[in-house]
Amino acid sequence: MSDKGSGSQPGYLTRNMTRRDLLKGAAAVVVGATFGPMIAGCGGSETTTTTAGGVGAVKMGGHLRVAAGAGSAKEDLNIHGPALTPPSMAMRFNMYDSLLEFDHAGVLGVALAEMLDPNADGTQFTVRLKSDLVFHDGSAVNADAVVYSFNRILDPDNPGLAAKQLRGLTPNGIVKVDDLTVRFELEVANAIFPEALSAYSAGIVPVGYDPKAGDGAIGTGPFMLAKPGDFQPGIQAVLVKNPNYWRRDGGPYVDQLSIIEFADTTAQLNALLGGAADYCQMIAGAQREIATGAGFSLLEAKTGSWIPFTMNCMAKPFDDVRVRQAFRLIVDRPEMIAQAADGLQWVGNDMYAPFDAGYPADLPQREQDLEKAKSLLKEAGQEDLTIKLTTSTSVSSGAPAAATVFAQQAKGAGVTVQVDEVTGDVFWGDEYLKYPFAMDNWGTRGYLAQAGFGSLPGAIYNETHYGEISPKYVSLVEEAFGTVDDAKRNELIKEAATLEHEEGGYIVYGFDMQVDAHAANVQGAMPDFSGLASAAGGSRYRLVSLA
């Protein structure tokens, strides 16, 4: 299933090309023998995309209406805070830009930055902005804005989402060099600092930025709010084309972009079927046939998002590595994907970050082996094991189904799994990160960024606690963070990932496919590797036009 639809998809969706290209791009920035700067149109790549027909063939104007699910009044447009819902993420992607950016193919390149120049040991990164850029309100994008933006992210009273990723950066390390140049001086080497600069939550905003709902939500993106009231949390945002948009490769093509919010996925699809929307983000597996049957087109993207089973290496019975290994052998992955995800996933191998250049793609695919699982459990003295598996639809709509499939498959190894489905508040409550056996939901990330969030001791989302029982693993990851040499770092990543594959606490049975549906006249939507909010280029609708 992992190859599903790949014949018609661009080549970057194949694992081998993607992250290697990305890291090659990043290599020019961060590491490598030459360690040269990243310059637009030269060493690095400007993240540009061209539509199939070329600019001349694209029809300008019109109103693109995008239906987005799981909307709620809790969302806002503060780019430095977490985007709490898919619709608010779609709005942000279209309103803001960061210094760097991954393009839809997973290649890291410059965005608002014209050049990124790292020093030899990965502790200093100098960024020069493109000249003559302006924000939505007409003010200049300059070094002051960059300094303000990163100080705002690092604010100790209200830290931004990107703060943890900007490892090694403190407010003292943000230095204005001249009107267009800023130097980031890190306290520790951070080989993936450019990746952190590309995060959507590291968006560049004007000095004094502090939006209240739609009021003051000012960025540099292709679309903007004409007036604050056009953003109604939980209901919709109506954005208009930014007349001063800085990219010269085409777009935005439509005059108006509405992100319409739905609480219910059926209503969301009905909006498309009934003609109230042109584009429907993230439909469920079973909805694909309804959409195609009614004459709509699908956009499928193979992403690095994953919904693992998490075994707590510090809790019984998973403190015994043989139990962890047995549980990984219980899973019939293709069967689970077919039953629990309507086929909307591709097979995983108990490791995350499949697009990372260090990903050990050559390790043999783990498959179900109930006999071996039984014997491992017997060795561990855990025959006839009964265990609770905590899950929630708030982890992922398909998580409870996957848990049920796991429970069925576990019977074959003599293990009784009691699926405990709870609401989101309970799941993320006091027991989260303490469950012996649970599930979680992660987006697409590079290996080190992910390990920093989930696997290192002290990580915010430390579910498996693997780092706490494996000093060897921790030292490998720490060393990789400080290793600016591309090849060497990738070797370290490969070793760390292999260790997790052998004895870690994640069961990574699959990665998500993201599917959007749209009307036939919607053109220029590109599948994206990130899987953020939408299958289409991080829901960037700059290059989408209405024929």
Partner 1 sequence: MPPLLKILIMRLGLGVLTLLLVSLVVFAATQALPGDAAKAILGKDSADTERYEALRKQLRLDRPLVEQYTNWLGGVVRGDLGRSLVGAGANVTDLIGARVVNSAILVLLAALVSIPISILLGALSAIWRDSKFDNAVNMTNLSLASLPEFVIGILLVLVFATAVFKWLPSVSNVNSLLPLAGQMKLFVLPVITLALAVIPYVSRMLRASTVEVLESEYVMMARLKGVSEPRVLWHHALPNAIVPTIQVIAINIAWLAGGIVTVEYLFTFPGVGAGLVDAVANRDMPVVQALVLLMAAIYVLLNLMADIFTILISPRLRTGLR
Binding residues vs partner 1 (CB under 8 A): 72-76, 82, 84, 157-159, 161, 164, 211-213, 215, 229-230, 232-236, 260-264, 266-268, 270-271, 273-276, 294, 394, 423-426, 428-429, 432-433, 440-441, 460-461
Q: Are 126 and 182 in contact (CB under 8 A)?
A: yes
Residue whose CB is less far from partner 1, 12 or 209: 209
Residue 30: C-alpha distances to residues 122, 126, 143, 185, 273 (Å): 7, 11, 22, 14, 47
Distance CA 91, CA 231 (A): 9
Residue whose CB is less far from partner 1, 215 or 255: 215
> Least CB distance from residue 141 to partner 1, whole Å?
24
Question: Where do the DSSP E strands lie in 24-151?
Answer: 38-39, 63-69, 100-102, 108-110, 113-118, 124-129
Residue whose CB is less far from partner 1, 273 or 469: 273
> Least CB distance from residue 241 to partner 1, whole Å?
19
HSE-CB at 483 with a 13 A cutoff on CA atoms is 17
Distance CA 339, CA 327 (A): 19
> Least CB distance from residue 31 to partner 1, whole Å?
29
Residue with tokens 């060897």: 472
Residue whose CB is less far from partner 1, 191 or 205: 205
Q: Are 307 and 512 in contact (CB under 8 A)?
A: yes
> Least CB distance from residue 92 to partner 1, whole Å?
14
The SS3 of residue 336 is: helix
> Least CB distance from residue 282 to partner 1, whole Å?
16
> Least CB distance from residue 63 to partner 1, whole Å?
13
Q: Are strands 174-178 and 309-311 parallel, antiparallel or unpaired?
A: unpaired
Distance CA 195, CA 169 (A): 14
Q: Which residues are CB-contacts of 261 (< 8 A; sequence separation ≥ 6)?
A: 68, 69, 71, 72, 85, 87, 234, 235, 236
> Least CB distance from residue 498 to partner 1, whole Å?
27
Q: Which residues are CB-contacts of 533 (< 8 A; sequence separation ≥ 6)?
A: 68, 83, 86, 87, 89, 90, 93, 281, 282, 539
> Least CB distance from residue 212 to partner 1, whole Å?
5
